[in-house]
Copies of this chain bind each other. A is one copy, B any other.
Amino acid sequence: MFDISLYLKDKKAEVENVLFKQLPSAPDCPELLSEAIAHAVKSGGKRLRPILCLAAAEATGGRWKDALLPACAVEILHTYTLVHDDLPCMDNDLLRRGVPTVHARYGEALAVLTGDALLTLAFEILTQTPLEGTITTRLVSELCKASGATGVIGGQVKDILLAGKPSPEVIHYVFEHKTADLFRAALRMGSIAAEASDEAVESLSAYGGHLGFAFQIIDDILDADQATEDEKPELSCLAIMSLTDARIWASEHTRMATKALENLVGDTTPLKAMADMMLERII
């Protein structure tokens, strides 16, 4: 019988093993910068997006090992967004996963530059795959589109500008771009690295988009339980719907995510289990 906990633990170790080797060190770069980069990357995290990237390769009948570097690129990209989102001019968070954020420990200037270095590193990692040049170019293109002005950054801009004015349109835009775009990219990149068919890439892309929505809705539900009065308002789907409706919405996206896996030729057990597990967080 398939054990999702064991799968996640195993794949997290495989990802971190490669991930930590990609980080720059002194004297190639300033000591303090390499420290700040390592602090950002090694401060925990479930490594959900890179594991999805590996599972996508398997779901198309490919080898998960072929997706290891793209998986690391996605995780590094995700880490940069956290470092910049935590900045005083954004969310001004001093702690993340129980440890000081990069700007809290190393100062604001170094935090901006650490995020910049991670963003650049994500693309550098992609150039190191032994894949064909056209596939590498496609991976770079996918990550750029998902994370740029029309993707994650666009989502973050709307989040900042409109956190105080939630509407169904705003919630949809922010969930779509700030969260779902990178989930989608993780799945697309894993399947592209495994040289999957265009149909398979699109199926996994649909899975990723729905899983991203489910993830964000559930995040809002869990945040609502922990919210304290003095926190500044954050954009939440609970501003426009009841807790019950949010739960139904999340389960609907999870169902659609699983449905998108139907025609794939590889092993989709891990992806199905991850969708189920995500929903169990709120039930």
A residues at B contact (CB < 8 Å): 24, 28-30, 32-34, 37, 80, 84, 87, 89-90, 107-110, 112-113, 115-117, 119-121, 123-124, 126-127, 132-138, 140-141, 144-145, 147-150, 153-154, 156-158, 160-161
Contacts and interface: CB of A to CB of B under 8 A. Distances in A.
Given A134-B133, A136-B133, A148-B120, A156 B113 contact: yes
A127 B127 CA distance: 12
A136 B133 CA distance: 7
Contact of A136 (B24, B137, B160): B137
Nearest to A81: B116
Given A28-B154, A30-B158, A124-B144, 19 more contacts: A29-B154, A30-B161, A33-B149, A37-B149, A84-B113, A110-B157, A113-B160, A116-B153, A117-B149, A117-B153, A121-B148, A126-B140, A127-B140, A127-B144, A133-B137, A136-B137, A137-B137, A137-B140, A140-B140
B133 A149 contact: no
A67 to B, nearest CB: 17
- Specify which of A107, A124, A161 lies most central, judged by the most chain B CB atoms within 10 Å of its CB: A124
Given A133-B135, A144-B124, A149-B24, A116 B117 contact: no
A192 to B, nearest CB: 13
Contacts of A87: 109, 112
18 contacts: A24-B148, A24-B149, A29-B149, A29-B154, A29-B157, A33-B154, A34-B149, A37-B149, A116-B116, A117-B148, A119-B120, A120-B148, A120-B153, A127-B144, A133-B136, A136-B136, A136-B137, A137-B137
Contacts of A136: 133, 136-137, 140
- Please tell me how many copies of the chain the complex holds: 2
Mostly, the A contact residues are helix
A116 B160 CA distance: 15
A113 B153 contact: yes
A231 to B, nearest CB: 18
The 4 closest A-B pairs by CB, nearest first: A133-B133, A133-B134, A124-B144, A89-B108
Contacts of A160: 109-110, 113
A41 to B, nearest CB: 12
Contact of A153 (B33, B108, B158): B33
A150 B29 contact: yes
A171 to B, nearest CB: 15
A161 B106 CA distance: 11
A127 B140 CA distance: 7
